[in-house]
Each structure stands twice: as structure tokens, then as C-alpha cells.
Amino acid sequence: MADPAPHSPPPALEDFVVQPVRRPGGLPRRCLTIGRHLMGLVYGRLLASVRDRPERAKSGLAYRLEWLLAILLRPLFAASKLIPLPFPVQLRRRLEMLGPTYIKLGQVLSLRSDILPRPVTDELKNLLDRLPVVPFEAFLERVRNDLGKPVERVFDWIDPEPLGSASIAQTHRGTLKNGQAVILKVVKPGIRETLERDSKLLWLLARILQGFFPRYQPKRMIDEFVAYTRREVDLRLEADNAEIFAANFADLPDIVFPAIYRHASGANLLTMEYLSGERPDSLRARNLAEGERRRLIERGASAIIRMIYRDGFFHADLHPGNLLVLPGPKLGFIDLGMVGRFDDELRRTLLYYFYCLVMGDAENAARYLASTAKAGVGARPAAFRREVAEICRRWHRSAKFADFSLGQLILESVERGARHRLFFPVEMVLMTKALVTFEGVGHILEPEFDVVAVSQQPIQALLLQQLNPLRLVEAGLRSAPEIFDAMIKTPALVSEAMRLLEAQNRQPPENPIGGLHGALFGGFCLLSGVVLWVSDGPLWAALALAGLGFLVGLFARR
């Protein structure tokens, strides 16, 4: 069959380095390799500390000990060409040398500017994003193994030239037997085994580093990385993600996700619809009519806000390469392997936080953001709230992307958390990346893009939707089993309370705690009513419990 209609032409095969398929090495050998790079990195950091220290600080016992140690260890690392390089560059180069798992680790760490120093995260953004490809024969073998049948029975054509090659997977274009243009994404051979082997070493390394560098939370970051990467190497989960997104946006035809072909997919193979479109930073997208560009921006804002603050399920690897401007114009989202998830409580808190941001309520925005953080030893939440409130006020004085973007505001606020020993979940940083991408694309399509004006309408509509009485009733119904269970137990509790009250009343009058049990039970009922109301339970049940608590407490006082 003829080649499908062209999209952006794929890179020529000679532009990629073809890497032979090899079995992953054993754990002991890998441990020695990582240990060698780690020792080189530690020595490089020591040498940089001695070399880059200001002249006025080159004195004292600590400096002399570092200088002596650097001199003594120099013969061990004299042959390394990386040692003279700045520490962030050394770190990036060594991660690249360690292979796909560590390149992926570096890409994830580049997002954690809330914990790691900014020079390190900036350098890690330069990690290789185009890795060697496996030979086409090995690619076809992976496809055949996952299908469990000859490739020719499912596909009419597969392009031998790769469309892309990342740390985990490789993509090619193709067509199904019915003529449907598709993209084939295949996990590279040995990646899953390499990840499992490296995860064991990373687990051990993280716990060692946690004792020396608790400020940078190595254990937490490594655990998050392993969890996310294990999900990415099972392409059935990416297929699930695409179908969840499509269902969530079924009422918005201008927001498109690629269709998944399950009969041609598996754990190591994902076959999805080929979306023919342009990147939003392409010349063709920028040359759209003003009304079309404006509609794309508004649709994109609504989509991102809905993903994050309504569904709590959002694209966590968003950048201009994962967005497509489709005919219509419509907005397409691709590469859905990495997603962020918020539970209901965190999603609602972030919704209130974002609403306060765009409405200019700096104090409440700072309060909601602080409530999402986990406090470490010596945390200073009050000081953090003051700083965040000041950042919000500064942003509202110049709310233009070129000066200070909304995503940058949130990122800077989250970064301040580490200074005050407050730590945020990785999903917060992934959410910020999505917002920064949305703002960047909006700024490309419309230089005078006003993020506040574009965000206010969808965020207000979403907040009103959250306060819809029917939605509150639905939330109450989800708690119905617990409420019914409490109602069934209430008569027995009341009977037991009355028995305790009668027994208490028979005590001598001079007993100073004669009404304590009744008062405690009354307080319990009153508190239960308040909790039920705060947790969106039925109003009548909350009032009944609160009234019972008041009456019992009053009777106990007598």
C-alpha cells in the first residue's frame, strides 16, 4: 500500500544511531559501573568546591581538609575527562553514559526545581531526547511477539524509518489492513529488565543518600521515579489513559485524543490513530486567522483546567511536541503515557487555590497552597504563607507571560516550600509544567495573551459546577453506607448513653465529675454532626446529631 498522507516528514534513518540489541548486564557488574560513576561525581563535586570557592573563603580547617583530600584522590580520577567540567554538566553526562533508565531519571529530576538547585535542573533539561534505535528487524520481532500472529495479518505497511526514539520506546508509522493510518509504539528490548535491575540499585542508593542529603529528599524522588517509569513501560496503561481522556472530553469535539486499536496492541506494543496536524509553534499554526487562534487558546485553557481541577487526571508530560493543531482547527493531545492524578480532596483544594489566584485573593491562595504540602522537621508554614502571598501580589501587578507567567508563579511558590521545610507531591510540579506549556503555546499564538482573562471564565464555571446541589447530593450518596451504619447504631448508643447518665445521677452530689460521661457523649454527638456537615453529608442528619449532642450535654449539666 502507498505511504499515508504526509505529516511532518520523519527523520532519515541515518540521523539515528542504530544500536544492536543486547541482554542487560548482571546486577554485580551494573553495581560496579554505577559505583564508579558515583565516586567520580563525588570527587568532581569536591574538586569544584575547592576550585570555585571565593578567595576570601580559602582559609580555615574545612577548606584545607577538602584541598588535601582532592590532592590525594587526584591520581584515581586523572584519566577522566569529566572531572574538570562544572558539577551539573558532569551529572548530566554521567546519567547519559549510564543509559536509558538514568536518562529518564534525569528528565524527571529536571522537573524538581522545587527541591534541587536551579543550575542542576536547568542542565538536566539538556539530556538526550533522541536515543539510539533498535534495528527494524528487532522492532518487527517485538511487534510479532505482542500480536501473537504474523505482522502481515494485522498491518498492511510499517515504515522502516523510525518516527522517534526515546529512552523507553520507539515509534514507527504504519497502516492497518483496513487502510487506517496509525502509529506503532514499541517498548525497546531489554528496557523492562534494565528498569527492574536498576530500580533495586536506585532503591539502595536513595536510602544511603537520604542520610547525607535529607534536604533534597532522594528517597522520595527515586520512589516517585520508579513508580512512574514502571507504569510507562506497560503500554496497556497508556492505552487506558487515552480512552479515559477521550471519555472525559466526549462532549468537546474540538479536543481530540488518538483512538486506540486494542486488537493490535499489548503490553509492549501500542497501536494508535495517526493524527495529521502541526505543532502549535509551527509557521502554519501561527498563520491561522486571529479568531481561530483565539478559539484554540480558549479551548486549550478549558481543557487544561478541566483535566486538572475537574477530573484530577491530566497530561503530565505536556510540551509543544505533544500538542497538535488539527484541521478545524482542533487541538490534539498525544503521548499519553505519563499522567498525573489528584485525589478528590487535593483536587478541590487546588481548585480553590487556582480560583483565588486568578481572582486576586493572595492570602487565601497562600493558605490553600500551604495545606497541600507535607511538613518536614522544622517546618515554617506561616513564613511560607507570607512569602507566597507576596509573590501572588507581585504577579497581579504584571500578569503578562513575558514578565511573569502563572505557571512560573506557581512554580516559584512551590520552590519556596523547600526553604521552609514544606514538601509537595510530584504531581504539583507536573501540573505546573502543564500550565507553563499552555501559557507558552498561548503566547506563541497570541503575543498579548492574558492568562487571567482566559482562565477566569472556565474556572468560575467549574467552581459553580462543584457547588451544584445535585453534585452535593451525589457526594452525599457516596457516603450513604457510612451514614446508614451510623443511623442504625444511634439507638444503641443513645440507650447506652442514657444508662450511663442514670448511673451518673445516682452518684453523690459532691462528685466533681458527675456529668462528665454525659458531657463527653453530648460533645461527641455535636462534633459528629459538624463533621458530617463539613464532609458534605445530608443536612438533616447533621442537624439531628448536633441537636442530640446539645440536648444530651444540657441534660448532663443538670
Q: What integer pLDDT is reported at residue 18 of this predicted model?
A: 67
Q: Looking at the whole model, is its pTM more than 0.75?
A: no
Q: Which three cell numbers stand for residue 413?
A: 511558590
- Mean pLDDT, consecutive 10-residue stretches, the chain (558 aa), reads 41 56 69 81 79 75 79 74 84 86 83 78 80 89 93 95 88 95 94 84 81 75 81 92 96 95 95 93 87 89 90 88 90 91 89 87 91 86 92 72 68 85 83 82 79 80 71 54 63 67 57 45 51 48 52 47
Query: Which backbone phi and psi does 323 adopt, to 5 degrees?
Result: -120, 140
Q: How far is CA 232 from CA 47, 162, 166, 192, 420, in A?
A: 37, 20, 12, 10, 33
Q: What integer pLDDT is reported at residue 7 of this predicted model?
A: 44
DSSP state of 377: T
Going by their DSSP bridges, the two strands 169-176 and 164-165 should be labelled as antiparallel
Q: What integer pLDDT is reported at residue 6 of this predicted model?
A: 38
DSSP state of 448: T
Tell me the DSSP string of 243-312.
Answer: HHHHHHTTT-TTEE---B-GGG--SSEEEEE----B-TTSHHHHTS-HHHHHHHHHHHHHHHHIIIIIIS
| SS3 of residue 431 by DSSP | helix
| SS3 of residue 188 by DSSP | coil
**Would you say 157 and 1 are in contact if contact means Cβ atoms under 8 Å apart?**
yes
Q: Which three cell numbers stand for residue 548?
A: 442530640
| SS3 of residue 60 by DSSP | coil
Query: Which backbone phi and psi does 280 adopt, to 5 degrees?
Result: -65, -20
H or E stretch covering 172: strand 169-176
**Would you say 189 and 171 are in contact if contact means Cβ atoms under 8 Å apart?**
no
Q: What integer pLDDT is reported at residue 223 of this predicted model?
A: 83
Q: What integer pLDDT is reported at residue 426 of this predicted model?
A: 80
Q: What integer pLDDT is reported at residue 471 of this predicted model?
A: 55
